[in-house]
Amino acid sequence: MSGAAVKRTPFFKILVANRGEIALRVMRTARRLGYGVVAVYSDADRDALHVREADQAVRIGEALPAQSYLRIDAIIAAAGASGAGAVHPGYGFLAENEDLARACRDAGLVFIGPSPEAIRVMGNKAGAKDIMREAGVPCVPGYQGADQGDAVMLGEARAIGFPVMIKAVAGGGGRGMRLVADAATFPDALRSARSEAQGAFGDPTVILERAIVDPRHIEIQIFGDRHGNAIHLGERDCSVQRRHQKLIEEAPSPAVTPELRARMGAVAVQAVKAIGYEGAGTLEFLLDREGHFYFMEMNTRLQVEHPVTEAITGLDLVELQLRVASGEPLGVRQEDITFSGHAIEVRLCSEDAGHDFMPQSGTMALWQMPENIRVEHALQSGSEIPPFYDSMIAKVISHGATRDEARGKLICGLEQVAAFGVTTNQGFLIDCLRHPVFAKGEATTAFVGANRDVLLAPRADRAADVALAALLLYVTNPHAPRWQRGRSLAATFPLGLRIDLGHGVQEIEILRERDGSYVAARDGDRYGFEIDEFGEDTIRFRRNGLMESARFLRDGDRLHVLHRGAALSARDLTLAGPESATAAGGDGKVRAAMNGRVVAVLVKAGDTVKAGQPVMTLEAMKMEHVHTAGVAGTVAAIDVAEGEQVTTGKIVVEIEAAA
């Protein structure tokens, strides 16, 4: 295409139609290139960091914050009000929405992404697979027909053969995706997938695919421009997942040879050239044990995991997006792309890995990130983690000359993360990185499931952690004698403590010896501590001849501790009365396990239920969570309605236990 025939689309101010660390990431590059930046926000994000960091910010949401960022009319109006000439959708919410791309075009705004036609063709899983088949690219066998009737879907699933994957035709991120083992569980899984897809993407349509056993999840990063150029930037391995959502990504993949990389990259470039694709995109494949790859879908946007590609190529992918959107050529040829070293990224999420990765919300009392490693985040101490959005709160990225070096740097970086007040998956990520299977580069999509018991097992020295927490509760108690170095002439008496680390109440005694040391006694075991230094938020101590240190934060009757990369939260119950109710529902009352929205009430008053039977589905942080009966009996009352927003601990269903 000649330069004279290419339409340039200059812009000088960019509205970022996203939130949090995604918005900040885009703003950082935009500012470096001299663009003004505009933020949008829901009521829940009024005081968020991305709002304060922008040149201007426009409110677009009210009662349902999660839906606010999906309001195309509000985004277009915000661009007009702020004088922005371009809209960057980030890499969530509306990033793959053809209606937003078309609305921008109609309003005379530059959409920093592919055309609405390309999004429609390649952003739809079913349509993209048809194009790939015509191009001779192997695809996973499945069904992507227009007839979405329950009977038809079940029949097609039987024809494909179980196990099958149900996938939302729009969007990604594991939403609207279910692995179904047999025909008996298919109807419930189909309903749940449709409901989740409707809530996340506004489209309940799904496709079916044969489930390939223990594959690698490999994706190829591509870029195209309006001058007819297209390149690939190598692959990323995104195999470590939970709930079909990625947790750890790396580049290059330990399973991809240079020859395989060239073949997969050529296929990806050929596909995007065929449709005249402009901007960033990612083609996702499953790689089986024999080295055969199958196309799954294309994400017509920048990916969450793009920093690992930036690390090994030295390119700023947001900069490439902005240059392409303004009509400039890519400025880099395939032969110019070189790969240096290895990079790994982990997604730090506000979730409780030990309780089925249940999302968590609340106030982040202390938030401090390591300074010697790349961290993408939008939080600070005191930030509120709302229940309306994805549970990912930060990305931590390392780069090294070798994979082992990158892995070691990432483990050290994660061990320094101080995230107190909201439970995160910090310790789980460290355990994943340390696991021999991951260390050898052999992790597949089955990694978390196959090693779940080991990855979620209590730490071997958990009893010592309990003792350390008790010691810190004792020495940080404002009514306790202040710690002083050296011997004590005062008589010492043991002090009994009752503490809760989230998994039951522990009884423990603390005694200060005359030599200045402390002893924590529990269940006949004694743990000796010598305190060398005791500051406002750090303690240095010796135990069994080993000197160690820990970070801590005392917040009323709660204590947060970071020790050896594991974050602990302890509550002092010594003066508290007994708690009568149980969140597990053993008293017949089913309580909401998190803040969220009721999407389905599965029983009605008078129904007879069994213990463990699903009774309600709650949506939180874009995922559905089924709540079950704690006891067998009769449903006495339904205390919520579908669509209602509930808070953690609210009684949603009451069951009268069977005699």
- Residues that are catalytic: 301
Ranges of H-type helices in 357-446: 403-415, 426-434, 436-439
- Identify the DSSP state of 640: -
Which two three-digit tokens encode residue 484? 């002083």
Neighbours of 138 (CB within 10 A): 14
Residue 339 pairs in a beta bridge with none
Q: How far is CA 659 from the centre of its chain?
A: 43
- What is the C-alpha separation between 254 and 247, in angstroms, rounded? 17
Tracing tokens 């290139």 back to the chain, one arrives at 33
**Is 301 within 8 Å of 113 (Cβ atoms)?**
yes
Sheet holding 623-628, edge to edge: 623-628, 614-620, 596-601, 645-646
Buried b (16+ CB within 10 A) or exposed e, 126-137: bebbebbeeeeb
- What is the C-alpha separation between 331 and 350, in angstroms, rounded? 39
Total number of residues shown for the chain: 659
- What is the C-alpha separation between 544 and 530, in angstroms, rounded? 9
**Is 533 within 8 Å of 550 (Cβ atoms)?**
no
Smallest CA-to-CA distance from 213 within 129, 287, 141, 144 is with 287
Query: Rounded to the nearest 10 degrees, how much is the dihedral formed by the CA atoms of 143, 149, 155, 157?
Result: 40
Contacts of 436 (CB under 8 A, 6+ apart): none
Buried b (16+ CB within 10 A) or exposed e, 588-601: bbbbbbbbbbbbbb
**Is 568 within 8 Å of 419 (Cβ atoms)?**
no
Alpha-carbon distances of 396 from 250, 295, 353, 393, 411, rounded to whole Å: 12, 28, 18, 10, 10
β-bridge pairing 36-41 and 13-16 = parallel
- What is the C-alpha separation between 315 and 52, in angstroms, rounded? 28
